[in-house]
Amino acid sequence: MAAPPSITIVGPGRLGRSVAGSLRRAGWAVTTVGRGEEAPKGASLIWLTVPDHAVAARARTLPPGALVLHSAGSLGPEVLAPHRGAVLHPLMTFPHPEGAFVPCTASGHPEALVAAHEVAAALGWRVLGEVHDRARYHAAACMASGHIAACFADASVIFASATGVSEAEARRTLEPLAAATLARVVVAGSAAITGPAARGDEATIAAHRAVLPADSLALYDAGTRTIKKLQGG
């Protein structure tokens, strides 16, 4: 019987723990390496799931000869030199629901890229292709995740202060609205955006601006400008 594919995962944080469990369930032999520990000599495939700022330094500690992957969306494969390296970046937050659709991108050394595709296939991820403008790509991913989350969190605080409910209840109350809006935008693009900025209701916008605190106002104004731009205003 052939030996199962093996991988060493360095940095068992949220991403590392999640993919380690999924790969084990897929039949892979998985070794995890924590902070301050060394990757085993003789490892043939190593996946760095450490923070972006730690990738280059951690790569320099790895034994020679292995194929090396990292998942820092802001960095290219060159930070893994002199190893044969590739980027395997999932467009997903972790942990995520089992079976969720996970698109990802992969680029790098041809041999490491083959390994990245094999790992993605074992995880059930869909590889979309390579990244040609990494800063622009990563900015878009951050806008679609962290920036939306920050806007929702701030809206929940404002809603709670306006209604007297807890912030947790505010998040639960606003979730159907946010989810339905995003679902419509996925299908119809910016044409699905509604609200006073989309319809040019300057009186309502002025009323909103009059009651928002300064930090929320900056976010509101940025959103208003973006909606007007997308609507051709």
Query: Can you tell me the distance from the alpha carbon of 163 to that of 160, in angstroms, rounded to the nearest whole number?
Result: 5
pLDDT of residue 97: 73
> Is the model more confident about 4 or about 67?
67
pLDDT bin (cut points 50, 70, 90) of residue 232 is: confident
CATH class of the 134-230 domain in this structure: mainly alpha
Q: What is the mean pLDDT of residues 103-123?
A: 97
Q: What is the pLDDT of residues 64-111, one digit of tens each?
A: 889 999 999 999 999 999 999 999 999 999 987 777 899 999 999 999
Q: Do the first three CATH levels of 6-127 and 134-230 match, i.e. the same topology? A: no
Q: What is the pLDDT of residues 174-194, one digit of tens each?
A: 999 999 999 999 999 999 999
Strand 84-90 and strand 103-108: the pairing is: antiparallel
CB neighbourhood size of 88 (10 A): 26
In percent, how much of the chain has pLDDT > 70?
Answer: 99
What would be the CATH architecture of the domain defined by 6-127? 3-Layer(aba) Sandwich (3.40)
* Mean of the per-residue pLDDT values of the chain: 94
Tell me the two tokens of residue 230. 């997308």
Query: Can you tell me the distance from the alpha carbon of 184 to that of 204, in angstroms, rounded to the nearest whole number?
Result: 23
Q: Taking the domains of the chain in order of start, what are their residue ranges?
A: 6-127, 134-230
Query: Can you tell me the distance from the alpha carbon of 107 to that of 199, in angstroms, rounded to the nearest whole number?
Result: 42
Q: What is the mean pLDDT of residues 197-211?
A: 96
pLDDT of residue 125: 96
